[in-house]
Amino acid sequence: MTLDPKNADAAFLLGSAYINTKQYEPAIAALKQATKVDEKSAVSYSLLGTAYRLNKQNKEAVDAYSRALNLASGDTRWNEGWDKDTRDYLKKSQNALDPNGQKAEEYSDQGYQYLKANKYAEAIEAFKTAIRFKPDYILVYGYLGLAYLKLDRNDEAIDTFKRALGIDPNDAVIHGGLGQAYAAARKYRESIEEIQQAIHLKPDDKRWRDLLGQTVDNLVSEAVHYLEADKYNDARDILTVVLGAEPENYSALTLFGVAQFRLQHYSEAVKALQQSSRIDPKQHLTWGVLGDVYSAQENYQNAIYAYNEALRLKPDDKRWQDGLKQDQDALNAPSKDVIKQEAERWISTSEITKCPRRLLIQPSCSGFFEKVTSS
pLDDT of residue 375: 34
Contact 268, 260 (CB under 8 A): yes
pLDDT of residue 3: 57
Q: How far out from the chain centre does Cα 38 lie? A: 42
In this structure, how many other beta carbons lie within 10 angstroms of the beta carbon of residue 221?
11
Class of residue 375 by CB neighbours under 10 A (exposed 0-12, middle 13-18, buried 19+): exposed
Q: What is the CATH topology of the domain spanning 1-97?
A: 1.25.40
pLDDT of residue 373: 34
Query: Taking Cα atoms as reference points, which of 321, 325, 322, 333 lies closest to residue 364?
Result: 333
Residue pLDDT, tens place only, 192-249 = 999 999 999 988 888 889 989 989 998 999 999 999 999 999 999 999 999 999 999 9
370 pLDDT more than 80: no
pLDDT of residue 84: 84
pLDDT confidence band for 83 (50 / 70 / 90): confident
25 pLDDT more than 90: yes
Q: Helix 154-167 and helix 172-184: axis angle, to 10°? A: 160
In this structure, how many other beta carbons lie within 10 angstroms of the beta carbon of residue 267?
10
Angle at 241 between CA 237 and CA 245, to 5 degrees: 160
Distances in Å between the Cα of 263 and the Cα atoms of 231, 233, 296, 297 are 10, 8, 12, 13
pLDDT of residue 341: 65
Q: In this prediction, what percent of the chain has a pLDDT beyond 70?
A: 87
pLDDT of residue 361: 41
pLDDT confidence band for 5 (50 / 70 / 90): low
d(CA 322, CA 130): 67
pLDDT of residue 344: 67
Domain ranges in the chain are 1-97, 340-374
Contact 288, 320 (CB under 8 A): yes
- In a 13 Å sphere around the CA of 172, the CA atoms on its Cβ side amount to 17
Residue pLDDT, tens place only, 237-287 = 999 999 999 999 999 999 999 999 999 999 999 999 999 999 999 999 999
Dihedral angle sign, alpha carbons of residues 133, 139, 141, 146: negative
360 pLDDT more than 50: no
| DSSP string over 60-104 | HHHHHHHHHHHHGGG-TT--HHHHHHHHHHHHHHHHHTSHHHHHH
Average pLDDT, the chain: 87
Residues in the chain: 375
pTM: 0.63
Q: What is the DSSP letter of 353?
A: G
Query: Taking Cα atoms as reference points, which of 20, 18, 73, 77 lies closest to residue 44?
Result: 77
pLDDT of residue 94: 85
pLDDT of residue 226: 95
Average pLDDT in the 168-184 region? 94
In this structure, how many other beta carbons lie within 10 angstroms of the beta carbon of residue 260?
23
Q: Which element (helix H / strand E) includes 106?
A: helix 99-116
Contact 195, 175 (CB under 8 A): yes
68 pLDDT more than 90: yes
For the chain, helix (H) and strand (E) counts, in that order, are: 21, 0
Distances in Å between the Cα of 61 and the Cα atoms of 46, 98, 104 are 9, 14, 18
